[in-house]
Structure 1
Amino acid sequence: MREEPRLRVAFFRPDDERTDEAVELLESLGADPVPDPMLAVEPTGAAPREDAEYVVLTSKTGVELAAEAGWDPGEASVCAIGEATAEALEDAGYSVDLVPEEYSSTGLVDALADDAAGTRVEVARSDHGSDVLTDGLEDAGAYVHETVLYRLVRPESAGESAELAADGDLDAALFTSSLTVTHFLAAADDRDVRDAAVAGLNDAVVGAIGEPTRRTAEDAGVAVDVVPEAADFDALAADAVEEAAPTYHE
């Protein structure tokens, strides 16, 4: 009996343990992973301020850098966007006081809105954080300070997936942030395959981890087929593979 070919699925996580975990997951789902890191971390050496009443961390990377810098939250309430960030805080020995039900900037603003007025809120994150968080907290009456813990840059080697998409050799692509979409398209530009890569994505299954990522993709002409209910890579991968498999095996 002839073995069915496997789905070729691209993803764009940083080249660290997150890539290893994604490869393992996609292989367990019966797909051939195509790791194409679109993000590399450049730490700034900064640490969150220690004089705030609320401190907001938005990523596992930010938590790790804050811990390396010896950050002490003192009496501040520590807020995490998403379970992965909360777990990283707990692993680093910090208490987590708030995780919004909706894992997004809007979710956190909604969770703090009633208590934020007149308080100092420290937001510690990357240089590509959404204004939705800081503007929303300021609109709620908070005094907001933002500390950039790290910059997110595009690795020079990025772009294999753009060429595969341009050649029609991708079955699915998993975008985990608006910036991964932007960097994918920039890599395609660098390789002079942008139009063909977008066409290739539109013939494949495209997954976006949340609504902001979906909007960024669709504004660039990339149709999004899958947005998981939870902003979680495992859910994104599983939903995209499930969506791609019926078409692929026709």
Structure 2
Amino acid sequence: MAVFRPDDDRLAAARSLLADLGAEAVPDPMLAVEPTGERPREADYVVFTSKTGAELAADADWEPGAATVVAIGPKTADALEAAGYAVDLVPDAFSSTGLVDLLAPRVGAATVEVARSDHGSPVLLDGLRDAGAAVHETVLYRLVRPEGAGESATLAADGALDAACFTSSLTVEHFLDAAAERGIRADAVGGLNAAVVGVIGEPTRETAEGEGIAVDVVPAEATFEALARETVARLDSR
């Protein structure tokens, strides 16, 4: 099963989880982090959308002051709390839409700082602005495709990949870019369509299906653990 997590503790945790589930991981990181050196600005609400962003804010000695600190999900909240920050709000749905649903009734006329990567969904910014908030986005890091990524694309093209877990639209795009560089894009898509494909969230589903990839699993909970468990279960049921 191909996993595309960054080559850090997230990839190690993914491999361990899949091993516990009886699946062999094919680690093929499709994202690498390039910090910008920026830090979140002062605001009434400060929103973090990833564990990486939380860790970079801590590395930059960011101070929340009187801000309400918001995390997109439990992993981000855990990273913030591990760095010594109090997390005030976490949405029920761990997504940009979930954040808008949580914050829209609260942020009219407030200032909101969104601290995230350069590939954040416009859904969050647009939704908060529509709710009346003054929104600023700080890009804490850029997400790039690591050199040499694409082993999973070759396996898919050869019909040797049983499943894949995509955690964002960008992982889908980088997988396809790596396949195209190897001259096997069509075959790699065909291989995915013969395998079990799991994705986190509707935006990732839309990206995959827009590129001709059939999606089999979208977990209700937007976490890698839920994605992995449901994808392995679907694979086992075949």
* TM-score normalised over the length of structure 1: 0.94
Q: Which amino acid aligns with 1:38?
A: M
Aligned to 1:46: 38
Return the alpha-carbon distance in structure 1 between the equivalents of residues 147 and 193 of structure 2: 25
Q: Which runs of 4+ in 1 moved over 2 A?
A: none
Residue-by-residue CA offset, 1:161-180 (whole Å, 9 max, x unaligned): 00000000000000001100
Shift of the alpha carbon at 1:81? Answer: 0.2
Name the count of aligned residue pairs.
238
Asked whether 1:11 is paired with 2:3, we answer yes
Shift of the alpha carbon at 1:42? Answer: 0.1
Shift of the alpha carbon at 1:246? Answer: 3.1
Asked whether 1:58 is paired with 2:43, we answer no
Aligned to 2:82: 91
Q: Which amino acid aligns with 1:243?
A: R
The structure 1 residue matched to 2:164, chosen from 173, 177, 180, is 173
* TM-score normalised over the length of structure 2: 0.99
**SS in structure 2 of the partner of residue 49 of structure 1:** coil
Where do residues 100-139 of structure 1 align in structure 2 (5 Å cutoff)?
Answer: 100-139=91-130
Shift of the alpha carbon at 1:156? Answer: 1.1
**SS in structure 2 of the partner of residue 149 of structure 1:** strand
Where do residues 76-225 of structure 1 align in structure 2 (5 Å cutoff)?
Answer: 76-225=67-216
Q: Which amino acid aligns with 2:3?
A: F
Aligned to 2:229: 238
Q: Which amino acid aligns with 2:190?
A: A
When Rg is computed on C-alpha atoms for both structures, the one with the higher figure is 1
Return the alpha-carbon distance in structure 2 between the equivalents of residues 245 and 66 of structure 1: 40
- Structure 2 residues without counterparts, runs of 5 or longer: none
**SS in structure 1 of the partner of residue 165 of structure 2:** strand
Return the alpha-carbon distance in structure 1 between the equivalents of residues 20 and 86 of structure 2: 34
Aligned to 1:20: 12
Return the alpha-carbon distance in structure 2 between the equivalents of residues 69 and 26 of structure 1: 33
Aligned to 2:66: 75
Q: Which amino acid aligns with 2:9?
A: E
Residue-by-residue CA offset, 1:164-216 (whole Å, 9 max, x unaligned): 00000000000001100000000000000000000000000000011111111
**SS in structure 1 of the partner of residue 38 of structure 2:** coil
Return the alpha-carbon distance in structure 2 between the equivalents of residues 118 and 232 of structure 1: 32
What CA RMSD, in Å, does the superposition of the two structures yield over aligned residues? 0.7
